[in-house]
Structure 1
Amino acid sequence: MLSLKTRLITIFLIVFLISWLVGEIFGLLEGLLAATICLSLLLIHQLWHASRLSRLLLSPNYGEVPSALGIWGEIYYRLHKLVRSWRDQVLEIEQQHSRFIQAVQATPNGVVMLNEDDQIEWCNGIAEQHFGINAKRDAMQRVTHILRKPAFVQYIIRQNYREPVRLNNMGTFEQFSLDVQIFPYGDKQKLLLSQDVSQIEKTDSMRRDFVANVSHELKTPLTVLSGFLETVQELELNEEDRKKYLDLMSVQTGRMKTLVEDLLTLAKLEGNPEPPVTQVVPMGVMLSRLQSDAQGLSQGRHQIVVENNSQKNVLGDDLELYSAFGNLVSNAVRYTPDGGNITIRWSDSGDEAIFSVIDTGTGIAQEHIPRLTERFYRVDRSRSRDTGGTGLGMAIVKHVISRHHGELKIESTLGVGSEFSLSFPQQRIAL
C-alpha cells in the first residue's frame, strides 16, 4: 500500500503531465488553463471529502465505511479500523465493569462507596437493605444524614477504623444486627462494608442460655447430694434413715446421669451433618420394645395400647429412632394422670408412614407448642423435674426426625390430651 507522501507526489505528477501535454498540443496558455482546472477539481474533491469526514466525526455510525477512491478511501478505512479497536476496548471495559458490579451485588455483605466528604457515591442492594438506602435517591447524601446511629456517627468522627462497630436494631420490618467497618482507599475515598451478624448473636445467646440452663439443672441435684452427704457423714443415723437418704441420693445421681446422657445424645445429633445410616428398622420389634418400656414406666397406672396398622418399616438408624420414639412414650407416661390411656400407633398415610403417641393427659396450651422442641423448655418446670424430665427430650426428637427427612406434628388440647406424630417420607420407607 502506497504512503501518503507517494500518493501526493503521484497526483501532482499526473496533473503536471496532463498540463504539459495540453500545452504541447494547444499552447502554453491552454496548458496553464488545464493545470488550473485540474488543481481546482482536485481542491473541490479534497474539500468535499473533508466536509464528509467532518460530518462523519460529528455523528459517527459504527459499521458504515464511506466509499472513496485513492487517499480518502485509505483514510476512511484506517479511521474505521481505529474506531472499531476503540469500540472493542470500550465493550471489554463495560463487560468487566458489569461483571464487577454483579460480583459486588452477589456478595452477602453491604458495600457503600463514600467520597472524601462521606457522601454516598454508590451502594449495592444488600447495603440498601441494611441501611434503608436508595442508591438513586440518596446519591451524594452524607452517610451520617441517613445512618444516624450515635455509635456510627462517633465511629466516623474518630476516624479509627481498625475495628468494626456493632449496630443493633437495624432494619425497618425485620430487626437485625450489623458489624460495620470502613476501609480508606484511593484519594481520600472510603469503602463501607456491613455484615449481618444476627445469626452469630443468636448463636451466642443460645450458647449462654445453654450453659446457664445446664448449670441450673446440675446445681439442684448436686446441692441435694452435697446436703445428704453432709448429713450421712456428720449424723449418726439408724439403718432406715440411712437407706432413705441413700435412695434419695441415688435418685439425684440418676437424674444427673440421665441429663448427661441426653446432652451427649443431643451433641452427637447436632454435630453430625451426615444423614443417618439406611439400615432397615423392623417396626414390629420396635413397637414391642416401646410397649415394654411404657409398661415398665407406668407400673400398671395407665392403659397402654399398641396399634400396628402398617406392614412398612423405616430406613434409618435404629438407636436414633429408638431414642426419639422412647422420648415420646416416656413423656406420655409422665404427663398422663393415673388411670389414663396411652396409644402407641404405627400407620400408613398414602406414601408416608406415621408413628404416633396419643395420650389422655393434661394437654398443652397452644402458645407453648411452637417452643416444645427448644432445649430445656418446659411448660411446667416443677412438674417436669418431679417426673424426672431433663428438658432435652423433644429437642432430641426434633433432630432425629429432621435427620430422617421426616416431620414432627403436635396436636394438643388442655384437659383432653395430646398427640405427637412423626411422619416418614417414601424414601425412608422399606417393606
Structure 2
Amino acid sequence: MIKLNWTYHLGRLLLWMLLALLLGLWAGHWLLVPSIFLAGYVAWQLFNGFRLHRWLQSWDTEPPESIGMWAEIFEGIASLQKLNRKRSRQYQQVIDDFTGMTDAFPDATLVIDRHDIINWFNDSAVRLLDLKAPADRGQTVTNLIRDPAFSDWLAVQDKLTSTLDITCPGDDNIILQLSAVHFGKDQRMLILRNVTDVRNLERMRRDLVANVSHELRTPLTVMLGYLEVLKSQPEEASGEAI
C-alpha cells in the first residue's frame, strides 16, 4: 500500500501559494501570479498523471523519474509491482508443482463444477479418456463419457459416495473404476482408476473356484450315493460290500 505524507505535501502547496500571492502583491498583480502558479500546478499534475497512465500500460518495470509527491507514488507503485511479480512467481511455482504432481498420477483425474462442466484434467485423463486440452475444458463431462450408468451415478454423488465400474470410452478392454471427492465450493474431483488387471484376476478366481467345484462335485456325488446305499443295507451286508 502506498503511504503519502499528505500533511507535508499539503503544507508545501500552501507555502508555494503564499509565496505566489506575496510575489503577486509585490509585482502589483496579486491575482495574475497565483493564477499562473495554479495553472502550472494543474499542468504538472496532468503531465504526471499522463506519465503514470503510459507507464502502467507499458511493460517497463522502471518507474518514471519525478519529484515530490509523484516520486513517492511512482516508487510505491513500482514496489507493489515488484511484490506482485514475486508473489505471482511463487503462486505459479505452486501451480506448476501441483500440475506436475497430478500429471504423474497413473489415475485419470478431472475437476468438474456443480453443472458437471470440466474445469481441469491431468495427463492420465488425456491418455485414458482421449481428452484434448484445452478444447475439452468447459465441456460437460457426460458429453465425453457417454455411458448411461455413469450419468445415473454422477447424478446421485451429492447424496452418497460410491464407486462405479465402466468400460474405457476409447478401449472396451479397459475397465475403469470411478470415484468422486467433493472439495471447494460446489466442485468435485473425479478419479478414474484402471482396474482391468484386478477385475481379470477376480474373474479368474471365480472361474477357478467354479471349475474346481464342478470337478469335485461329481466324485463327491458318487461317494455320497455309495454311502447312502451302504446305509440302506443291513449291517452284515454292508460289511461284506465294504
Q: TM-score range by the shorter chain?
A: 0.7 to 0.9
Q: 2:13 is matched with which residue: 11, 14, 19?
A: 11
Residue identity over aligned pairs, in percent, reads: 26
What is the DSSP-based 3-state SS (H/G/I as helix, E as strand, rest coil) of the residue aligned with 2:111? Answer: strand
> Going by fraction, where is helix more abundant, 1 or 2?
2
Is residue 161 of structure 2 the alignment partner of residue 162 of structure 1?
yes
1:163-312 residue pairs with structure 2 within 5 A? 163-168=162-167, 170-173=168-171, 175-209=173-207, 211=209, 219=216
Aligned-residue offset at 1:62: 4.7
In structure 2, relative to structure 1, the CA distance for the partners of 1:125 and 1:234 (3 Å cut) is: farther
Larger-Rg structure? 1
- Aligned pair in 2 of structure 1 residues 157, 236: CA closer, same or farther (>3 Å)? closer
Residue of structure 1 equivalent to 2:87: 89
One-letter amino acid of the structure 2 residue matched with residue 13 of structure 1: L
Alpha carbons of structure 1 residues 46 and 138: separation in structure 2 relative to 1, 3 Å: closer
| Structure with greater strand percent | 1
SS at match of 1:183: strand
Check if 1:100 corresponds to 2:102.
no
Give the counterpart letter for 1:68 in structure 2: S
Name the CA distance, whole Å, in 2 between partners of 1:212 and 1:119: 44
Paired residues of 1:161 and 1:181 also in contact (CA < 8 A): no
Q: Is the 8 A contact 2:23 2:33 kept in 1?
A: no
> How far, CA to CA, are the matches of 2:6 and 2:117 in structure 1?
53
**Contact 2:145-2:169 at 8 Å conserved across structures:** no
Does the CA-based 8 Å contact 1:185-1:191 persist in structure 2? yes
Say yes or no: does 1:68 pair with 2:36: no
Q: Which runs of 5+ in 2 are unaligned?
A: 228-237
Change in Cα spacing, 1:141 to 1:17, as seen in structure 2 (3 Å) is closer
Q: 1:71 Cα deviation (Å)?
A: 1.3
SS at match of 1:167: strand
1:28 aligns to 2:28 (yes or no): yes
Partner of 1:371: none
- The secondary structure found in structure 2 opposite 1:175 is strand
Shift in Å, 1:157: 4.1
AA paired with 2:6? L
Distance 1:16 1:127, change over 3 A: same
Alignment of structure 1 residues 342-381 onto 2, 5 Å: none
Residue 131 of structure 1 is matched in structure 2 by 129
Q: Which runs of 4+ in 1 moved over 6 A?
A: 213-217
Asked if 2 retains the 8 angstrom alpha-carbon contact of 1:129 and 1:171, the reply is no
Q: Go from structure 1 to structure 2 and tell me whether the alpha carbon gap of 1:86 and 1:110 turns closer, same or farther (over 3 Å shift).
A: same
Offset of residue 35 of structure 1: 3.2
Cα 1:200–1:13, aligned 2, differ >3 Å: closer, same or farther?
same
Distance change in 2, residues 1:197/1:173 (3 Å): closer
2:47 is paired with a residue whose SS is helix
CA distance in 1, matches of 2:162, 2:15: 79
Instruction: Provide the rounded CA distance (Å) in 2 between the counterparts of 1:130 and 1:13.
Output: 75
Contact preservation (8 Å) 2:111, 2:121: yes
1:19, 1:32 within 8 Å by CA — same for their partners in 2? yes
The Cα offsets for residues 1-33 of structure 1, whole Å up to 9 and x where unpaired, read as 982321232233134235525644xx423x544
> CA offset at residue 76 of structure 1?
0.6
2:52 maps to 53
Aligned-partner Cα distance in 2 for 1:42–1:158: 68
Q: Is residue 113–residue 192 contact of structure 1 (8 Å, CA) maintained in 2? A: yes
* Cα distance per residue 1:236-280 (max 9 Å; x no partner): 89xxxxxxxxxxxxxxxxxxxxxxxxxxxxxxxxxxxxxxxxxxx
Number of residue pairs matched by the alignment: 226
Alignment of 1:114-129 (within 5 A): 114-129=112-127
The separation in 1 between residues aligned to 2:170 and 2:129, in whole angstroms, is 9
Partner of 2:141: 143
Indicate the SS of the match to 1:117: coil
**TM superposition shift of 1:96:** 1.9
In structure 2, C-alpha distance between the alignment counterparts of 1:65 and 1:35, rounded to whole Å? 31
- The alpha-carbon distance between structure 1 residues 154 and 32, as it changes in their structure 2 partners (threshold 3 A), is closer
* Residues 208-249 of structure 1: CA deviation (Å, up to 9, x unaligned): 4555676788x59x87xx79xx9xx95589xxxxxxxxxxxx
User: Are residues 15 and 172 of structure 1, via their aligned partners in 2, closer, same or farther at CA, if it must alter by over 3 Å?
Assistant: closer
Give the deviation of 1:49 after TM superposition. 0.9
- Post-superposition offset of 1:43: 2.3
Q: For residue 309 of structure 1, what is the aligned residue in structure 2? A: none
Extract unaligned runs of 5+ from structure 1.
238-431
CA distance 1:188–1:69, change in 2 (3 Å):
closer
Over aligned residues, Cα RMSD in angstroms?
A: 3.5
